[in-house]
């Protein structure tokens, strides 16, 4: 279960939109921490007549008042948000970090898209992301679309998904996208001249993965589709009416098509529903590389 969720806020109404998503994935006993990161004092305007920490405390108190039935704490940290938010999640032992991307207004302008991306790259804690303008979520988490790529590291998202399901009873749909490998003309570099060999069928391994969830009493099904990875993930999320897209990321290019900077980044950029990303630890990635677990055509 999710014991503690850290919510990063920047003083804007946009950043507060993550609260609806947190309420949907949290159990009644989940503790919530609210954090607001202020710039170092050296970056403040001297003699402005305003105590920014007092303003931040008042702001967090107003937000906390909207969650009267929750066990809740508030924190004000100093520094760069992309560095301090992941540090806070680790120090406070959060099971999940939650924030809104592209929140451009507010007293600190902290949660711009570039900051949200940096938080994902720096965080060892899974990150739940939403963006301003998404429709208000329906009550309860009913279905989670879990995107994997056939590699062991991509399945690292499973632990986070299990925690969410234990709190919500949501159905899990495991999705693997088979991305065709097209060989370009060696002369022009553009004209495709065919596929070198048939791709192995991922369905049996994906079904075996689904059975692991089913044996734990989790309603699960497996789905294999062909096409462009990010497009198919978003398309299937809409077709299945999924409440959440969950996937692993290495926080950089390399191991597979589902790493931030490629598919995960594209999914977040075009998301029409919340996305949960879990950064793969470096040691897991190294192990995967040693075993040659590369998706066809990976970066």
Domains along the chain with CATH numbers = 4-130 (3.40.50.620), 143-290 (3.40.50.620)
Query: What digits encode the pLDDT tens for the residues 64-111?
Result: 999 998 999 999 999 999 999 999 999 999 999 999 986 444 444 445
pLDDT over 80 at 274, yes or no = yes
Per-residue confidence (pLDDT) for residue 185, from 0 to 100: 58
Span of 12-26, 192-206, 220-234 with lowest mean pLDDT: 192-206
Instruction: Quote the pLDDT of residue 275.
Output: 95
Residue 74: φ, ψ to 5°:
-125, 145
Enter the tokens of residue 19: 């609260």
As a whole number, the mean pLDDT across the chain is: 82
Average of per-residue pLDDT across 264-278: 91
* Structure-token match 């303008």, residue found: 133
pLDDT at 272 over 60: yes
How do 72-78 and 31-38 pair as beta strands?
parallel
pLDDT bucket at 127, cuts 50 / 70 / 90:
very high
Which pLDDT score is estimated for 195?
Answer: 55
On the question of pLDDT at 276 being above 90, the answer is yes
Asked if 7 and 34 touch (Cβ cutoff 8 Å), the reply is yes
Highest mean pLDDT among 51-60, 111-120, 177-186, 235-244: 235-244
Q: Please give the pLDDT value at position 235.
A: 97
User: How far are the Cα atoms of 20, 33, 69, 113 from residue 66, in angstroms, in the given order?
Assistant: 11, 13, 9, 26
pLDDT of residue 194: 55
* % of the chain residues with pLDDT over 90: 54
Q: Would you say residue 1 has pLDDT above 50?
A: yes
pLDDT higher than 70, residue 12: yes
Q: How would residue 295 be classed by pLDDT, with cut points 50, 70 and 90?
A: very low
- Distance of alpha carbon 41 from alpha carbon 76, whole angstroms: 13
* Maximum Cα interatomic distance, the chain, rounded to a whole number of Å: 70
């Amino acid at each position: 279960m999710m014991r503690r969720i850290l919510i990063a806020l920047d003083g804007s109404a946009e950043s507060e939109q993550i609260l609806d998503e947190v309420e949907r994935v949290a159990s009644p006993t989940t503790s919530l921490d609210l954090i607001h990161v202020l710039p170092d004092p050296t970056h403040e305007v001297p003699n402005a007549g305003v105590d920014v920490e007092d303003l931040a405390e008042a702001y967090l108190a107003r937000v906390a008042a909207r969650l009267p039935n929750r066990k809740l704490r508030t924190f004000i940290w100093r520094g760069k948000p992309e560095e301090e938010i992941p540090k806070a999640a680790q120090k406070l032992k959060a099971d999940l970090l939650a924030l809104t991307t592209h929140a451009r207004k507010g007293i600190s302008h902290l949660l711009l898209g570039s900051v949200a991306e940096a938080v994902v790259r720096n965080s060892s804690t899974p990150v739940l992301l939403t963006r301003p303008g998404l429709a208000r979520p329906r009550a309860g988490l009913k279905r989670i679309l879990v995107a994997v790529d056939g590699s062991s590291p991509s399945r690292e998202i499973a632990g986070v998904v299990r925690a969410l399901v234990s709190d919500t009873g949501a159905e899990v749909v495991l999705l693997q996208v088979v991305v065709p490998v097209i060989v370009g003309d060696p002369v022009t570099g553009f004209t495709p001249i065919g596929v070198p060999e048939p791709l192995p069928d991922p369905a049996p391994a994906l079904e075996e993965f689904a059975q692991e969830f089913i044996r734990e009493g989790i309603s699960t099904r497996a789905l294999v589709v062909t096409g462009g990875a990010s497009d198919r993930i978003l398309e299937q999320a809409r077709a299945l009416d999924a409440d959440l897209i969950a996937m692993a990321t290495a926080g950089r290019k390399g191991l597979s098509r589902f790493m931030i900077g490629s598919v995960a980044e594209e999914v977040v950029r075009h998301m029409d529903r919340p996305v949960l990303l879990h950064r793969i630890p470096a040691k897991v990635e190294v192990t995967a590389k040693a075993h040659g677990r590369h998706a066809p055509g990976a970066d």
